[in-house]
Amino acid sequence: MTSPLSGQLPDGRADRPLGVAMIGYAFMGKAHSAAWRAVGSHFDVPATTRRVIVGRDAERTAEAATRYGWEESATDWREAIHRDDVDIVDICTPGYLHAEIAIEALKAGKHVLVEKPLANTIAESTDMVTAALAARERGVQSMVGFNYRRVPALTHARDLIADGRLGSIRQLRVAYLQDWLVDAASPMTWRLRKESAGSGALGDIASHALDQVQFLTGEDIREVSGRLRTFVTERAGPDGPEPVTVDDAAWITAELSGGAVATVEVSRLATGVKNGLRIEVFGERGALRFDLENLNELWFMEATGPATEQGFRRILVTEPKHPYLEAWWPQGHIIGWEHTFTHQLRDFLTSIGTGEAPRPSFEDGLQIQRVLAAVEESAAAKSAVVQVPSATHDQH
C-alpha cells in the first residue's frame, strides 16, 4: 500500500522508494545509518532505500556498507549524487566539505540533509542558503541536523514555553561538557585542526547549545560576548607533534531578541563528564531543567501556587502524547540518544512528502554560524559585546 506521504521526487514522480546516498561512514554515518534503518518501521513516512554510502577509503567504506545495510559503497561523491536512483543526499562529513557537496546536490535536484554546523565559514554557509532557496522553489528540500531538537523532553519543553507556562523568559543557563580530550596524550584528529573543523568545542558542541537557546525560546540571539581557551596546545600527529589550532572550551553570554539573557559554557576537557548537555530555563512564572544524560526526564516548576507547595517535579517523557513517543514503546519504557536521529529523519521525510520546508533550515544553520563568528570575534578582540549581524549584513 502506498503511504499517504509518498515521497515526491523533484519532477513530481512518486513511483518508487526514495534512494538515499550518504556521504561519510564514521561516527555520524553510523548514527544516521541506524536512523535510516529504523524510521520507516516506526513512522508513516515516504519509503526509502539505502542506495549507496560514500567514503574516501574503499575498503572501510565497503565494510561500513555491509555492516550498516547499504546496497553499495563508493568513493566518488559526485558520481553518487548524480545517480538517477538517488533522490536524497545525507552529508555526514567534516564541516569543510559540507558546502561543496550540498550545493552540487541541490543543483542536481536532490533533497539534502547536512550535519551541523552548516559549514565552517559565513561565506560558505551563505552560499548554501542561496542554493537551498533556489532549490526550494523547485520542490527540493534541505535541512541541517541539529538532532537535539528531536529529544522528546526538549521538544516538550519548547511546547511548554510556547504555551506560556513559564511566562516571560528571563534567563537560561546551558552547559555542554565532555571529557574525551582531557588526556593530553590523546592523538591529533581532524576535529583539532581549524582547516577541517572550523573551530573546536565552539562549532562542535556550542552550536548545539546555542541552537537550543533559540529553539526553546523562539527568539534569536542578537549580541554576544565570549572567551575561548585551548588548554592542550599540542597533540601527537602522524608525523610528530602538531599544534592544536582550535579551542578546547568556550564561555558565552548572549542577549536574545526578547530581552532574555543566556549563559553558555562548553568544554571537551571537563574531567568526569561524558556527554552532559544541561539546560535551565527561568521564567517569571516557572522554570525547567534538563540533562541529556537523563534524556527521558524533564524537571518542571510552576511558581503560581502557594509557596508551601512549590518545587520542581519530574516529568517522565515517555507518554504516547509526548512528542514522537506515539511510535515507540509503552509509557515508562525509555528511549535513547539514537532515537533523536530517527525523529530527525521522520520530520525531514514528512517535509519531503508534504512539500513543506523542514526546520531547522539552512537559514537557521546560517544564523548559528553568525553567532559562532560573533563569539570568535569577541574572544579575539577581548571585546565585551559583539552584535550578531542579520541576513542583510552578510559579507563575502
Q: Is residue 115 part of a domain?
A: yes
Q: Which of 346, 308, 314 is nearest to 327 (CA)?
A: 346
Do 382 and 175 touch, CB atoms closer than 8 A? no
Give the Å distances, CA to CA, from 100 to 78, 106, 124, 200, 287. 10, 10, 9, 21, 42
| C-beta of residue 299 within 8 angstroms of C-beta of residue 313 | yes
Q: How many CB atoms lie within 10 A of CB 11?
A: 8
Preceding peptide of 4 cis, ω within 30°: no
Beta strands at 111-115 and 286-291: parallel, antiparallel or unpaired: unpaired
Confirm whether 275 is domain-assigned.
yes
Rounded Cα gap, residues 89 and 22, in angstroms: 6
d(CA 32, CA 92): 8
Which of 60, 61, 43 lies closest to 52, judged by CA? Answer: 61
Query: CA–CA separation, 173 vs 213, rounded Å?
Result: 9
Picking from 116, 147, 178, the residue at the C-terminal end of a domain is: 147
Is residue 383, in this structure, part of any structural domain at all? no
d(CA 194, CA 120): 9
Angle at 365 between CA 362 and CA 369, to 5 degrees: 135
pLDDT tens string 68-125: 999 999 999 999 999 999 999 999 999 999 999 999 999 999 999 999 999 999 999 9
pLDDT for res 390: 78
For residue 31, give every residue at least 6 positions away whose Cβ sits within 8 Å of its Cβ, in sequence order, or none: 338, 341
Buried b (16+ CB within 10 A) or exposed e, 233-272: eebeeeeeeeebebbbbbbbbbbbeeebebebbbbbbbee
Residue 10 is predicted with a pLDDT of 52
Say whether both 167 and 303 belong to one domain.
yes
pLDDT of residue 394: 41
Mean pLDDT (10-residue bins), the chain, 396 residues = 43 75 97 98 98 97 98 98 98 96 98 96 97 98 98 98 98 98 96 94 97 98 98 95 97 97 98 97 98 98 91 97 98 97 98 97 97 96 89 42
Q: What is the CATH number of the domain that holds 325?
A: 3.30.360.10
Same domain, yes or no, for 168 and 305? Answer: yes
Domain count, the chain: 2
Residues 121 and 160 in one domain: no
Q: Is 121 within a domain?
A: yes
What pLDDT is recorded for position 364?
Answer: 97
Whether residue 283 is found in the same domain as residue 186: yes
Q: Are 311 and 170 part of one and the same domain? A: yes
Residue 37 has a pLDDT of 98
Tell me, yes or no, whether 127 and 223 share the same domain: no
The C-alpha cell at 153 is 523532553
Can you name the residues that pair with 290 across neighbouring β-strands? 279
DSSP H helices, the chain, are 27-42, 58-68, 77-81, 98-107, 122-136, 152-162, 194-197, 201, 207-217, 339-354, 362-381
In a shared domain, residues 182 and 158: yes
**Is 394 a member of any domain?**
no
| 133 shares a domain with 24 | yes
What three-state secondary structure class fits 156?
A: helix
State the Cα–Cα distance between residues 250 and 144, nearest whole angstrom. 23
In this prediction, residue 298 carries a pLDDT of: 98
Residues 189 and 209 in one domain: yes
Identify the domain boundary among 93, 123, 147. 147
- Indicate whether 11 belongs to any domain: no
Q: What are the φ/ψ torsions at residue 275 (nearest 5 degrees)?
A: -160, 65
Q: Are residues 182 and 141 in the same domain?
A: no
> Does residue 13 sit within a domain?
no
Question: How big is the CA angle at 116 (ends 111 and 120), to the nearest 5 degrees?
Answer: 105
Question: Is 357 domain-assigned?
Answer: no
Among the three residues 96, 123, 147, which one is the final residue of a domain in this structure? 147
Q: What CATH number is given to the structural domain containing 51?
A: 3.40.50.720
Q: Are residues 331 and 193 in the same domain?
A: yes
Domain match, 244 and 201 both? yes
* pLDDT value, residue 393: 38
Q: Residue 77: which domain range?
A: 18-147
Give the per-residue pLDDT at 169.
Answer: 98
How far from 293 is each of 147, 297, 298, 343, CA to CA, in Å? 15, 9, 11, 18
